[in-house]
Amino acid sequence: MNPFAFNRKILLRKFSWVSAALIFAGLAGCNLPGDAAASPTVNVTQAYQTVEARLTQAVSQTPLAAASPAPTDQGVETSPTPSPTAQGNEPTTTATQAATNTPAASLCDQAAPGVPIDVTIPDETRMQPGEEFTKTWRLVNVGTCTWTGDYDLVWFSGEQFGAQQTVSLVGSVPPNGTVDISVDMEAPQSPGTYISYWKLRNSSGTLFGIGPSGGSAFWVQIVVVPSTTATTSPTPGTSVTPTVTPTAVIQASGSATLLPGDALDLDTNQVNSGDEDLAYQEADQVHLLVPQGSGVGLAVLDANQPSLAECQTRTLIADPLPVADLAVGTYLCYRTNMALPGWVRIASFDPDTGELGLEINTWEVP
């Protein structure tokens, strides 16, 4: 048989098959319901491209391949013309997802402590039972969105001090603007140390606060002392000293191992959680413990485990502390960015590898 004639028959059969496929697709399109009628073009084009690709492959193996190029069809293959509706949905969805995951979105609402943050009622202000007071915080808008009258100051946790749970902001605070926010409160009747945590809430109901991640609450902390009455007379020769005995439970405790570059959340005893209070850093071959966040501080003690009252009354500093100056077994008192007191003990230190072992104890004070 003549090879040319044989190949011609093959080509004719394949062209017939293409025609049949196209006719079948057209007939099938006639039976589709109205809302699917926009899709036949896509199906026919895809069917044509599949057959055309196979046909081109067959032709390329015979002398007829050079005589049957299809530049127009090849252009369709590389740039198909799908349904406009199907084409339009895909980029819209992609754009929406990208906007949701944009890092800048998380910076829209974020606050930072003003100078000072405690305009009134500094931490550990002493109060009489039932004493009324007004707490005022100074906050800076370090986000990219303006705080409007639809933003609120809201009670987050701890003691509410009889205050309103929600206080609306007055006026607008643009980015880099500063605002003083006040709320009326009343001291509890029972002696003790009390803390109330607050945050801001945007018009969408999302809470935000201060700190590197914008998630830390700000607070007011007072010490309620026993009141003295005229009917109570001290024993001659003695003095009356109010005894503050707060009821406290342990919020977090345990051990942690840090390497240079790690950071520890003292409220949860988690390493590199994103809301840390204590960073472990190395600078010029000196290993340092560095307090992180607003209100966080440390006080170096000795080898005796401190009590809650001792850590509450210690003067804390926010300066970096060289680990080499702290002997193994040394205790330090601290206050977390949630204003919780606690102690940390140097359990081990390897100056060659920089590995630092710590034991912590954080109290939850009501």
Is the Cβ–Cβ distance between 246 and 230 less than 8 Å?
no
Is the Cβ–Cβ distance between 185 and 161 less than 8 Å?
yes
Per-residue pLDDT tens digits for 218-262 = 999 999 998 765 444 555 555 555 544 445 688 888 999 999 999
Lookup result for tokens 């749970």? 165
User: For residue 74, what pLDDT is reported?
Assistant: 44
In the chain, what is the straight-line distance between the N-terminal and C-terminal CA atoms, in Å? 100
Phi-psi region of 20 (alpha: psi -120 to 50; beta: other; left: phi over 0): alpha
Q: Where are the beta strands (DSSP E) in 159-266?
A: 166-168, 178-186, 192-201, 207-208, 218-224, 249-258, 263-265
pLDDT category, 211, cuts 50, 70, 90? confident
By the 10 Å C-beta count (0-12 exposed, 13-18 middle, 19+ buried), 67 is classed as exposed
User: For residue 339, what pLDDT is reported?
Assistant: 83
pTM assigned to the model? 0.43
Phi-psi region of 198 (alpha: psi -120 to 50; beta: other; left: phi over 0): beta
Per-residue pLDDT tens digits for 84-120 = 333 333 333 333 333 333 333 457 999 999 999 999 9
pLDDT category, 358, cuts 50, 70, 90? very high
**141 secondary structure, DSSP code:** E
**In the chain, what are the helix, strand and coil shares in percent, each to the nearest 5?**
25, 35, 40
Lookup result for tokens 């002392």? 225
Rounded Cα–Cα distance for residues 258 and 356 (Å): 5
Instruction: Spell out the domains of the chain, with CATH numbers in brackets.
Output: 3-101 (no CATH), 107-224 (2.60.40.10), 249-364 (no CATH)
User: For residue 234, what pLDDT is reported?
Assistant: 53
